[in-house]
Each structure stands twice: as C-alpha cells, then as structure tokens.
Amino acid sequence: MTGMKGPGIFLAQFLGDEAPFDTLDGLAKWAAGLGYVGVQIPCNSQLIDLKLAAESMTYCDELRGGLTRYGIEVTELSTHLQGQLVAVHPAYDTLFDGFAPPEVHGKPAERQLWAVEQVKLAARASANLGLSAHATFSGALAWPYVYPWPQRPAGLIEEAFAELARRWTPILDVFEEAGVDCAFEVHPGEDVHDGATWERFLAAVDNHPRARLLFDPSHFVLQQLDYLDFIDRYHDRISCFHVKDAEFNPTGRTGVYGGYENWVDRAGRFRSLGDGQVDFSAIFSKMAQYGYDGWAVLEWECALKRSEDGAREGAPFIRDHMIRRGDRAFDDFAASGVDREAIRALLGLSGDRS
C-alpha cells in the first residue's frame, strides 16, 4: 500500500552563510533534528553540483548516502529560479538577472539558454537520484497584461502561451526521457497562476504527459481561489505538494492587489502553518481521497514569525495531518458474507434466471 510521504521541508528559505544552514549536510542534520524525513533541494551550487548530478550516478549515490545518515531522503529537486528564466518579459529583465550567473546578466537570450539547460540537467539529475517529480516555475511573458486595461489586443494571450509551449516542450521531452514529472507551481507572477492558465498551458503543450502541477494552497488564498475545487479538477496532474499557510483579510483600503504595501500590511500574506486560514484537514483529506502518493513538503514563508520557529512547528503539523489510507472498509465487521443466491433472494429474484 502506497501513501503520502513526509514530512519534508523545502530548503530554499533556510539556506544561508552560517552553519548549519550553509551546507546540505548541515541542513539535513538540522532538518532531521526537527523531525523531517525529507528535504526538497533547490538547484543551488551551494547545495548540489547539478551538472555532475546529471552525469554521475556515483555522485548521486554519495549525496543520497550522506543524507541517509540522518534518516533523510531527497523529496524533489527545485528549479524555481531557473524555470522563471525560461520565459521573462523585458519589463522584468533587470530584476531577474539576479537569478542567473553574472556572465549572462544583461543578455536575455543567453540567460534563457542557460536556464533551459539548467532545467534539463535537473531532469537528468532527478532521474539519477531516483526521484519521480521535479518542482519548477513556468516563467511569464503575459503577466504584465494580467489585468485587461488597456484592452488587450486579440491574440496576445494566445501567442504568449504558444511561445511558452515552444520553450517548454523540448524541456518536457527531456523529462519524459528521464521518467520524471515536471511539476509547475501555480503562482502569481507566472503565466501558469491558476486553473484557467494551467488549462491554457496544458493545451499548448498538447497535454504532455510530464507537464504536472505543484499544489500550494497559500497562493490560492491570496488570489481568492477555491483550492479544494482545484484538487477535484486537477488531482490527476498533481505531483508535488507544498504545505504552506496564508491569510486574506480585505479592508476598504486594500485587497487582492495589495496596494503596493509590504508583506506585513497586505490583506493577503503568507503565514506559518496553523497561523493562517488554509483548511489543511480538508486538503489532506482530498489528497488521500485521490491517492496522492508524493511528498508533503513544508515551504516556510511568514510575514510575522521567525523562520526557526516555523520550521520547528512544521514537522509535527504535517505529520498530524497526514492520513494513512485504510486497507479495508470501516464497516467490514458487519459484512453479511451471503452468497450469490442469497443476494438474488434479497432482490426478489430467487428462481428467476432470465
């Protein structure tokens, strides 16, 4: 019997310059001490040599072996930053240069080629690490036009998604060759940011079997989307799960768009697990109902709480919400055990062979 795995923790928000947060070994030991059994690793050179991982099983075996000492597994690799750079509108060029190495700063075409190669390497590295899914972003060409004012010209959005598909299809083909799902996090700022845009993208890549979803309910709260209905609609494509809380408290002063306020003062803001409005009991029930057998991974971001406290509280929170699917019906004790003839008699069909 398979089931959800966890708790895991995404390391991106905890990576730093001082021990234990400056190395994968230090982070793994720290995470294990908090009760986590898995780590989602951002493809940052401080934590993993991505090119070597894509080429060397020995390196990957040693990486996994080092984590095993602490009872830790790799849940997934993440190329959120690199995936973002697969498609960047020129309005964001300067800001997003910081996601890439200095040698491609100010060179959008070269930066994009670097990003594409990084994500392809991550597909192969994931396969060598024995992983089934990978976490990333779609990038965005149409995001500056998300609000339809001025009126968008006919065909603008269609062309944006056609171009997005032209860029991602060859990458998805590499994931297919590697036998790894490519899970896009539905996230504001990306062209794939809700169910409607996911459907556009999926159609544009011709329902590619490796185009999958990373489900993170916090972004649904901030957009005022129904995250339970999303699971009902798209559960067959969900390969990754970020367990992240949020709240939305609109006023007459600010709402979904945030009024350019900082995170503390926005109506919608991320919170540590249990401090926000996400109904995790309902989410974990839905995931169990549909047989999700991937990892439940804490992504910690909070406008108020210290990161160390959020990490400490996250493991027991996830563990307490995980549902082990039963292997028998709850009312089996009352099974009548009658045979077919008795069943037919109960239906008033005794002796009727028609």
Question: What is the distance between the alpha carbons of residues 139 and 83, in angstroms, rounded to a whole number?
Answer: 6
Per-residue pLDDT of 128-170, as tens digits, reads 999 999 999 999 999 999 999 999 999 999 999 999 999 999 9
pLDDT > 80? residue 210: yes
pLDDT category at 351 given cuts 50, 70, 90 is: low
pLDDT category at 343 given cuts 50, 70, 90 is: confident
Q: For the chain, which residues make up each domain, given as ranges?
A: 5-346
pLDDT > 60? residue 107: yes
- What pTM was computed for the model? 0.94
Query: Where is pLDDT greater, at 3 or 157?
Result: 157
pLDDT category at 334 given cuts 50, 70, 90 is: low
Instruction: Please tell me the predicted confidence (pLDDT) of residue 338.
Output: 81
Distance between first and last Cα of the chain: 41
Mean pLDDT to the nearest integer, 47-56: 98
pLDDT > 90? residue 331: no
pLDDT category at 353 given cuts 50, 70, 90 is: low
pLDDT category at 1 given cuts 50, 70, 90 is: very low
DSSP 3-14: --EEEEEE-GGG
Handedness of CA 345, 346, 348, 352 (dihedral sign): negative
Question: What is the distance between the alpha carbons of residues 260 and 350, in angstroms, rounded to a whole number?
Answer: 74
Mean pLDDT to the nearest integer, 323-345: 76
pLDDT category at 306 given cuts 50, 70, 90 is: very high
Q: What percent of the chain has pLDDT over 70?
A: 96
- The first and second tokens of residue 289, run together, are 């109902």
| Residue 298, strand partner residues | 9, 243
DSSP 31-81: HHHTT--EEEEE--TTT--HHHHHH-HHHHHHHHHHHHTTT-EEEEEEEHH
Question: Mean pLDDT in the chain?
Answer: 96
Type of residue numbered 218: S
- Those residues whose C-beta lies under 8 Å from the C-beta of residue 300, and which sit 6 or more positions away, are 9, 10, 13, 14, 244, 272, 307, 310, 311, 314
Per-residue pLDDT of 239-285, as tens digits, reads 999 999 999 999 999 999 999 999 999 999 999 999 999 999 999 99
Fold of domain 5-346: TIM Barrel (3.20.20)
Instruction: Please tell me the predicted confidence (pLDDT) of residue 342.
Output: 86
pLDDT > 80? residue 319: yes
Instruction: Please tell me the predicted confidence (pLDDT) of residue 340.
Output: 86
Instruction: Please tell me the predicted confidence (pLDDT) of residue 332.
Output: 65
